[in-house]
Amino acid sequence: MTARRRLYLELENCIGCRSCLAACTQCGGHDERNRNYVYDVNPFVNTQTMPLMCLHCVDPACARSCPAQAIQIHETGAVLSALVEKCIGCQNCTIACPYGIPKFDTEQNLMYKCDLCIDRTKDNIPPMCASVCPSNTIQWLTDEEIANKQKQYKLDNNKWVTSMPLEGETNVKISLPGILQGIEKLF
């Protein structure tokens, strides 16, 4: 049995190339729709960017708020987009998400968001965004690989990865060592 992998983000590595966005549209079942975003952190000061995508919460607010139970959680932990046959277009999921990730398509009357390229990741193949990221901002790692990265920075366990304090535990992990150590990007 292969080790479970999860999406791992090193935000300080992002160079703003947006190749993750282009790759996202090519994932099966996305209908050429981009389900991730790249955020310009402070565009009037510098070129710092960071990817924004669904963090696949362990107890997702989007799924809890759906009266039609249209948002399913895959056995791998991926929180999937709304099922077409169940979604009633109420937009509760969009409002409930503390990260502002689910988007609502008014034309299709349907919510869509990152589904962690479930057609790939269920077979332990990296999601499209991780497979093309040239700066290793987005990675597809085992928990052991994440733990090994943690050791190299010698940071307190509580300061290593975050699941963002708003929602609780997430299946996507975000590293903060560069930010916590005050490392500045050179571009």
- Phi, psi dihedrals of residue 157, rounded to the nearest 5°: -50, -40
pLDDT at 99: 85
pLDDT at 164: 45
Residue 20 CB neighbour total at 10 angstroms: 24
Q: What would the two tokens of residue 176 be? A: 């903060």
The neighbouring-strand residues paired with 67 are: none
Are 3 and 136 contacting, i.e. CB atoms less than 8 angstroms apart? no
| pTM passes above 0.85 | no
- Closest C-alpha among 27, 54, 6, 42 to residue 16: 42
Domains defined along the chain, listed by start: 5-180 (3.30.70.20)
Q: Please list the pLDDT of the chain residue by residue as tens digits (187 residues).
A: 577 899 999 888 899 999 999 999 988 777 788 888 898 888 898 888 889 889 999 999 999 999 999 999 999 999 999 998 999 999 999 999 988 889 888 888 888 899 999 999 999 999 999 999 999 999 999 989 988 887 776 655 555 444 444 557 888 888 765 555 555 554 3
The CA angle 45-46-52, to the nearest 5 degrees, is 110
